[in-house]
Chain A
Amino acid sequence: MDEALLRSLTPQVIAVLVRRGAGFAAAEDAVQDALVEAVRVWPADPPRDPKGWLVTVAWRRFLDATRADAARRRREDLIDEEPAPGPAAGVDDTLQLYFLCAHPSLSASSAVALTLRAVGGLTTRQIARAYLVPEATMAQRISRAKRTVSAVRLDRPGDVATVLRVLYLVFNEGYSGDVDLAAEAIRLTRQLAAGVDHPEVAGLLALMLLHHARRASRTAPDGSLVPLAEQDRTRWDTAAIAEGVAVLQAALARDRLGEFQAQAAVAALHADAPTAAETDWVQIVEWYDELTRLTDSPVVRLNRAVAVGEADGPRAGLAALAELHDSLPRHTAVAAYLHERDGDLATAAGLYAEAARKAPTLAERDHLTRQAARLNTLRRG
């Protein structure tokens, strides 16, 4: 049973049903049913034409559902008009689904859930497990999202930037449950990049590949966080790094710089350093300057302060940090790190402990607590 194939066919089959006249919401439901049926039937009886099989079963489900509806007249029209199984839906149809599922009228969580189901071909149960909410809650979130976009026409492209934001959110969720959301985000971004010629799509794909390449080394066997400088670089996935760098270089050559390309450039410079000490921090600061120009985000400026601390010394980093408001997430953690580098262990230890209390994730909190404990132990000598 080729689940990857099944999932990659999902948006194409939805598109076929929509072209035959089904509304998006009904088409999407019918294809979910067909997917569930495929999982049941295919292992014993694999179809010769998987896509044709899915289209046939989904269309039948759609007609059954329509028949059950009060909309009898509309159903009869559809049967009259039922076309012969058409040519394979092109990439364009899948693209329209990306835009629809990331429509600006949707909240971030709704767009993410709808994208994973309609474009990613995941079941509601899988998505619910990945986001640690009850299946009923996720089902409602998806059906509301479908109602929200029901009036949106599927015939014109939307804004690529909204799609990229949704894919980036999926990537950042990491992995819990039985679905690897980071890998799923890469698959969906790769599929998008195959259909859209846009340097930022390539930039996001490169960024994901470069981060994903370091995943195995980012956590210790006990689940604790391993900072970049201490990661075992022999465990980085060199094939993914090579691909990410190639995708990024092709994008940068187009000379239409964007946020994701610049972030990917930073990730590429880290990936390129054989040891932490050989990191080209001067270039990384330059890329953060570009990013500041592109987004002027305080988070970027915080990261820039870290890079400045490495390139020009901790005092310079602290000076850059002083320009930022200390309510910024992770500000205290950065301050602790720079003070430690500057040799002020007492201040650093206090700041690490304070940063631990403010940490947004469990892994970071535990990591920062260990840093504080390490410095306090050192100071007691």
Chain B
Amino acid sequence: MAKYLLLKHYRGAPAAVNDVPMDQWTPEEVTDHIQYMDDFAKRLEKTGEFVDGQALSPEGTFVRYDGEGRPPVTDGPFAETKDLIAGWMVIDVDTYERAVELAGELSAAPGSGGKPIHEWLELRPFLGDHPTVTE
């Protein structure tokens, strides 16, 4: 039982095999793609492995503290940011192998021409929040 984050990038991941920007797809292809993602999440709910899934807007703002009594400073969005997260799915699975298998399935979501995108997804294990008893 371990939780993993499947991270989907707008930018920053190696190029997908079927690397056509989404705005160049047909509307049906976009619909099919979204349907595939929804079905995938629903299937994981049924297997008892789904924890969370979210998509993010590409436009974000950087914020930082600017000293006592001052409002936070905001900046961006930075068009040149190399690594841009598009969304994620969190899964709770028995093994690393199962996590890889599921990431592979998600990466097969259909894209342009109805063919799998073969997009690179980043798989990151969660840090557990409790130590084991082994001392």
Contact = CB atoms under 8 A, between A and B. Distances in A.
A303 B132 CA distance: 13
A137 B49 contact: yes
Interface stretch (A35-43, A60-68, A126-134, A337-345): A126-134
Interface of B is mostly: loop
A362 B133 contact: no
A137 B94 contact: no
Interface of B: 1, 3, 45-52, 92-94, 125, 127-135
Given A137-B92, A138-B48, A144-B48, A132 B131 contact: no
Given A138-B48, A173-B130, 7 more contacts: A107-B94, A131-B1, A133-B50, A137-B49, A228-B135, A361-B129, A361-B132
Contacts of A113: 48
Given A108-B1, A361-B130, A133 B94 contact: no
Interface in A217-245: 218, 225, 227-228
Interface string A129-156: 0011110111011101000000000000
Contacts of A171: 133
Given A133-B51, A360-B128, A362-B127, A211 B1 contact: no
A31 B23 CA distance: 53
A331 interface: no
A140 B129 contact: no
Nearest to A214: B135
Interface of A is mostly: helix
A364 B134 CA distance: 12
Contact of A131 (B52, B92, B132): B92
Nearest to B1: A109
Given A108-B94, A133-B92, A362-B128, A270 B135 contact: yes
B128 A141 contact: no
Nearest to A263: B134
A359 B48 contact: no
Interface string A107-124: 111101100000000000
Nearest to A208: B133
B47 A225 contact: no
Contacts of B46: 140, 144
Nearest to B90: A133
A365 B47 contact: no
A361 B45 contact: no
Contacts of B45: 136-137, 140
26 contacts: A109-B92, A110-B48, A112-B1, A132-B3, A132-B51, A134-B52, A136-B45, A137-B45, A137-B49, A140-B45, A141-B49, A144-B46, A144-B48, A172-B132, A172-B133, A173-B130, A175-B130, A270-B135, A299-B134, A359-B127, A360-B127, A361-B127, A361-B129, A362-B127, A362-B128, A363-B130
Interface residues of A, number: 39
A244 to B, nearest CB: 13
Contacts of A131: 1, 92
A363 B61 CA distance: 31
Given A132-B3, A172-B133, A109 B128 contact: no
Given A131-B1, A270-B135, A303-B134, A137 B129 contact: no
A21 B99 CA distance: 40
Nearest to A364: B131
Nearest to B93: A109
A105 interface: no
Contacts of A134: 50-52
Contacts of B127: 359-362, 365
Given A361-B127, A365-B127, A144 B94 contact: no
A264 B47 CA distance: 36
Interface in A326-381: 359-365
Most central of A132, A133, A172, A173 by chain B CB within 10 Å: A133
Contacts of B130: 173-176, 361, 363
A174 B131 CA distance: 8
Contacts of B52: 134
Contacts of A140: 45-48
A132 B129 CA distance: 11
B88 to A, nearest CB: 15
Contacts of B134: 299, 303
Contacts of B131: 218, 225, 361, 363-364
